């Protein structure tokens, strides 16, 4: 499914601690490797924690938050009489975008206080609307929780993957994300549940099946606990370097094949 401006937009959401950034990183791996889709992939880290670049093994030095500060600066250095403001913003966003051979990355960064994300969100929307034709896919690692929905930063998403840990609280939060999105009339082409860090315990799996059924969400895949991820996280090694036979890599590839591959 394609976004109206050409790019297929995929968002990964979920409460903190579910491992959504790991899922987003592995999805990006397969999106970047999918030659059939053509074009480039853009990853947007919309979580203030900004942990996506480290899982990808890249270093981002400036964020949209930094651009916001430049715009708000009383010095006025940012502005020019010779260039419209929206063009300057577009130039600045291009400046902070990190490009690798396989994908591009942009980081929203932290807000400076209540309400300060409004301008950043507007800039992000402008960026997606203006430049998405350059990318075959845009992958958004959403911030933890539900705030991104109340601010409508995930509008016009083709596929939303809500990641949960194998707990009732996590699945309840995933269901709440779906319900709030419906109340706000956010246009998702499709929304799926991904269960992460699942054990092989038969009783746990049976209990989870009941919770998933009650949630009203469609389960698109489960990702087992993976000792490789713990080992990589311990030393800060990029998730993209996980071995191909890693449990998490195999599981996310199956999810990718179901919802992302053209």
DSSP per residue over 38-68, as a string? -SEEEEEE-STT--HHHHHT------HHHHH
Indicate the pLDDT class of residue 154, thresholds 50, 70 and 90.
low
pLDDT tens-digit series, residues 214-226 = 998 999 999 999 9
Share of the chain above pLDDT 90, in %: 39
Cβ–Cβ under 8 Å, residues 188 and 160: yes
Predicted confidence (pLDDT) at residue 72 exceeds the cutoff of 70? no
Residues 243-262, mean pLDDT to the nearest whole number: 90
Where is pLDDT greater, at 47 or 45?
A: 45
pLDDT tens-digit series, residues 176-196 = 888 887 777 777 788 999 999
Cβ–Cβ under 8 Å, residues 256 and 27: yes
Predicted confidence (pLDDT) at residue 66 exceeds the cutoff of 70? yes
Asked if CATH classification 3.40.50.300 holds for the domain at 8-259, the reply, yes or no, is: yes
pLDDT tens-digit series, residues 202-248 = 888 888 999 999 998 999 999 999 999 999 998 989 999 999 999 99
Cα–Cα distances in angstroms (integers) from residue 96 to residues 64, 72, 130, 183, in the given order: 8, 17, 16, 34
pTM of the model: 0.85
Cβ–Cβ under 8 Å, residues 9 and 46: no
């Amino acid at each position: 499914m394609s976004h109206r401006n050409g790019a297929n937009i995929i968002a990964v959401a979920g409460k903190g601690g579910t491992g959504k950034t790991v899922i987003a990183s592995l999805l990006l791996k397969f999106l970047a490797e999918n030659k059939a889709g053509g074009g480039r992939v853009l990853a947007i880290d919309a979580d203030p924690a900004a942990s996506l670049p480290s899982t990808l093994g890249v270093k981002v030095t400036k964020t949209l938050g930094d651009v916001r500060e430049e715009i708000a600066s009383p010095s006025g250095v940012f502005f020019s009489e010779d260039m419209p403001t929206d063009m300057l913003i577009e130039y600045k966003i291009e400046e902070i975008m990190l490009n690798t051979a396989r994908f591009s990355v942009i980081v929203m960064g932290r807000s400076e206080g209540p309400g300060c994300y409004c301008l950043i969100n507007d800039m992000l929307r402008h960026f997606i609307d203006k430049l998405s034709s350059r990318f075959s896919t845009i992958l958004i690692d959403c911030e933890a929780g539900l705030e991104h929905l109340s601010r409508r930063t995930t509008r016009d998403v083709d596929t939303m993957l809500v990641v949960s840990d194998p707990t009732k609280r996590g699945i309840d939060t995933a269901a709440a994300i779906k319900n709030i999105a419906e109340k706000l009339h956010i246009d998702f082409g499709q929304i799926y549940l991904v269960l992460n860090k699942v054990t092989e315990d038969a009783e746990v799996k049976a209990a989870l099946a009941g919770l998933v059924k009650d949630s009203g969400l469609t389960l698109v895949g489960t990702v087992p606990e993976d000792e490789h991820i713990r080992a990589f996280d311990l030393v800060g090694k990029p998730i993209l370097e996980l071995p191909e036979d890693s449990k998490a890599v195999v599981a996310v590839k199956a999810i990718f094949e179901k919802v992302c591959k053209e």
